[in-house]
Amino acid sequence: MKAVIIQTAFLGDAILTTPMFAAFKRFFKDAELTAVLRPDGAQLLAGLPSLNEIIPYDKKKKHRGISGIRRLASELRDRQFDVLLSPHGSHRTSFVSMFSKIPERYGFKDAGFARLAYNHRLERRGELPEIKRLLHFLSDSVCPGASDFSTQLSLIEDAASLQEADALLRKHEALRPILLAPSSIWPTKRWTPYGFAELAAKLVRKYKTKVLLVGAPGDRPVCDSVQSFLKEFQPHFIQEKVVTIAGDTSLRGFYSLVKKARILISNDSAPVHYACAAGTPVVAIFGPTVPALGYAPITKNSRIAELDLACRPCGTHGGLVCPLGHFRCMKELSADSIMEQVQALLP
């Protein structure tokens, strides 16, 4: 069998799909499995044992617009796949599936243009965590019983990523740091910079360790906002223990860094899933989104920090601004309440 799984959502979604890849190859040991991923997911998951090939889907350049969709569909058609599995429900992915003309195409019933794109349409089990939802997708399509397979996330650590993380920790004299990830693609998913600054100070005082502000290069402005509150309200000995390293690691180097961390505290974003794959304790901060949507950590050494408000959730992904204008879900979430979750994991 030659099969392709299309997962062109964000990086965290690609990480959450790794148990699905592993379950497929466990079921079909001799099958050829290809994944279509965004460029960052393709970079992070390159060499994953369960994948024979990764096709990067660059919708901003090579695969931009309708011509790019047709180009990707043509690439899939030329490879003569037997089966297409698409757990990502976007209209764009549905068009790729439709134009690919792969004989057996599986997707969710509620996906965009599902009737045109998929000749097998499956129920989305919205009540389940996303990892289990994906395994049920596999079980309902081509791998009966896969819903009971392992939910362990899989990422790769290699010599280069390990060396990268070690060098960074030596540079900042941080043996077992605490990591804070204060940013997110969606502004409403970000806890306040003041809150992260206050939390960083409490962590330094409690655990006597370096606190590293992590993220992608584009997350530096958010980290700078945290640093500005530290400079305004905290003494120098606290300031010097909190260091911004956002953008200083590769995607795989970041994984090695997370594996070496004492704990990670992050908004509802990809770093949470890095920590779950690494086995590192993690506290996930939820505001406009809620754990019931399926993207919360499900490992034993994880905790959730959130407020119980009637207006939550206000969307499936967060947004640019609070729909009601008050942003209470983040503004009223205290550093003390998050420290309670940290101390439950690190007595």
99-140 tens-digit pLDDT: 999 999 999 999 999 999 999 999 999 999 999 999 999 999
Cβ atoms of 207 and 346 closer than 8 Å: yes
Residue 159 neighbours by CB under 8 Å, 6+ apart: none
**Which two three-digit tokens encode residue 137?**
């997708």
Residue 60 has pLDDT above 80, yes or no: no
278 and 137 assigned to the same domain: no
Residues 250 and 330 in one domain: yes
Same domain, 60 and 168: no
The side-by-side arrangement of strands in the sheet containing 263-267 is 242-244, 211-213, 178-181, 263-267, 282-285, 302-305
- Whether the pLDDT of residue 318 is over 90: the answer is no
CATH of the domain at 280: 3.40.50.2000
Residues 88 and 171 in one domain: no
pLDDT at 315 over 90: no
Is 154 a domain residue? Answer: no
User: What percent of the chain shows pLDDT beyond 70?
Assistant: 100
Do residues 288 and 339 share a domain?
Answer: yes
Quote the domain boundaries for residue 273.
159-345
Residue 180 three-state SS: strand
- Cβ(130)–Cβ(296) below 8 Å: no
pLDDT of residue 317 exceeding 90 = no
Does 85 score more than 80 pLDDT? yes
Residues 135 and 166 in one domain: no
Among the candidates 125, 148, 171, a domain finishes at: 148
Count of domains forming the chain: 2
Quickly state the pLDDT bin for 63 (edges 50, 70, 90). Answer: confident
How high is the mean pLDDT of the chain?
96
Asked whether residue 99 is assigned to any structural domain, the reply reads: yes
Instruction: Tell me what pLDDT residue 27 has.
Output: 95
Q: Residue 106 falls within a domain, yes or no?
A: yes
pLDDT in tens, 153-207: 999 999 999 999 999 999 999 999 999 999 999 999 999 999 999 999 999 999 9
Distance separating alpha carbons of residues 70 and 66, to the nearest angstrom: 6
Domain-ending residue, one of 148, 174, 196: 148
